[in-house]
Amino acid sequence: MPYLFTSESVSEGHPDKVADQISDALVDHFIAFDPSSKVACETLVTTGQVVLAGEVKSDVYLDVQQIARDVIERIGYTKSAYMFEAHSCGVLSAIHEQSPDINQGVERANPEEQGAGDQGMMFGYATNETETYMPLALAISHKVLQELADIRKAGQEMTYLRPDSKAQVTIEYSDQNVPQRIDSIVVSTQHDDFDEDERMLGKIREDVINIVIPRVKAQLKPELQRLFDGDITYHINPTGKFVIGGPHGDTGLTGRKIIVDTYGGKGAHGGGAFSGKDPSKVDRSAAYATRHIAKNLVAAGVCDEVLVQVSYAIGVAAPTNIYVNTYGTAKVALNDGAIAQKVYELFDMRPYAIEQRLKLRTPIYSEAAAYGHMGREPQIKKVSFKDGAGRVKEVEVETFTWEKLDYVEQVKKAFGL
């Protein structure tokens, strides 16, 4: 019997995502000037106020207040009417030094024996239902919000848009787990108070359906575009009005959108957030590494869908387990346990090895802090940072390295494909 599956995303202006982006901007600045920095920074945003807290071990001094303001300005909170504005909000820093009890479990005389920054389990997932090996409902939800943001920043159409928004997509699947049609799309977007309520809602609904959705559809391959051809139920600003939003409408915290950051509810999640953490924290680095494994397994033809789990003990380099679930889609004559054993042999999952393989000791995290950490396009680019003394540093980085299909040939060889 066909079934429905739903995923949601939130925009860069959503209060939780504002907090994530500030936290990751701090990580990037620390790592840009001191690659060995240990960072665990949390951010809270509310009406007219930003609170920074956490633990850092680094040789660099930063103007963390200015970094927070720069992020807020880039997102688009630049008007006093939003009740949260880049240059007038208060920024309180309560960042202090990292606990030496944690640090002694991470740093080692031999870097290869670097211990995990915490205990816990991390998951990576991939499916061949999209070109990016991401779940379709989440991929479309991200695209809806990216288009809304692009339209808002261009300032030519839908000029009433404000930064905060959410999207949700429900897809009908066949018994064979193949997408059949889009059942419903929910879009809630913050907006100016520009007309009488009913006319205002009608205009926003019309623009989302006739401007945003066609731009999203055009980005998909033809076999996915057909999913839009049926009778889609649209819920556009279903409360009727969304003028009050952002950190003024809802307090934001780092790490509250971990399902948006990963797979939209497909697969599994170990519970640890990514943003605000340097790569010694396996919540982040091992989650990227398991995504890298999962994507390369599917791309190599080992299976159509896969979940990979790894777990650690704090201060210990070797993982406590590696688990693989192919959901019965394996194309090789091995059970999942045997596949997991080959994964263990192919991929060194010690924290230092992950950092080196995926080039994680570079300032690449701010870009990942909105619209998903997974399913993005790797790029080589130059980025610049300023420290607390005004020194500017330009760094060439490779982003989203965990999305590279650089192990496909090795996987094929190992599995005889």
Q: Taking the C-alpha atoms of 380, 381, 382 and 386 in order, what is their torsion angle to the nearest 10 degrees?
A: -100
Cβ-contact 351, 118 below 8 angstroms: no
Going from the C-alpha of 233 to that of each of 136, 143, 190, 229, the distances in angstroms are 17, 18, 20, 12
Instruction: State yes or no: 285 annotated in a binding site.
Output: no
Query: Would the annotation count 55 as a binding residue?
Result: yes
Tell me whether residue 277 is annotated as binding: yes
Burial class (CB in 10 A: 0-12, 13-18, 19+), 13: buried
Task: Take residue 224 and report the two structure tokens written for it.
Answer: 């996915």
- Residue 256 marked ligand-binding: yes
**Residue 118, annotated ligand binder?**
no
Residue 217: CB atoms within 10 A of its CB come to 17
Which DSSP symbol is given to 283? H
Quick check: 11 and 21 in contact, CB under 8 A? no
Confirm if 343 and 358 have CB atoms less than 8 A apart.
no
Contact 282, 314 (CB under 8 A): no
Give Dmax over CA atoms of the chain in angstroms: 67
- The amino acid at 314: I
165 labeled part of a ligand binding site: yes
Q: Which residue has the tokens 């780092």?
A: 254
- Check whether 166 is labelled as a binding-site residue: yes
Check residue 369 and report its DSSP letter.
G
Structure tokens at 334: 């091995």
Whether residue 273 is annotated as binding a ligand: the answer is: yes
- 164 in a known ligand binding site: yes
Determine if residue 266 is labeled as part of a ligand binding site: no
Which residues have a Cβ under 8 Å from the Cβ of 357 and sit 6 or more positions away?
289, 292, 347, 348
CA distance 27 to 76: 21
Q: Which residues are annotated as a binding site for K(+)?
A: 42
Q: Which residues are annotated as a binding site?
A: 14, 16, 42, 55, 98, 164-166, 241-242, 250, 256-257, 273, 277, 281
Q: Which residues are annotated as a binding site for L-methionine?
A: 55, 98, 250, 281
Q: Which residues are annotated as a binding site for Mg(2+)?
A: 16
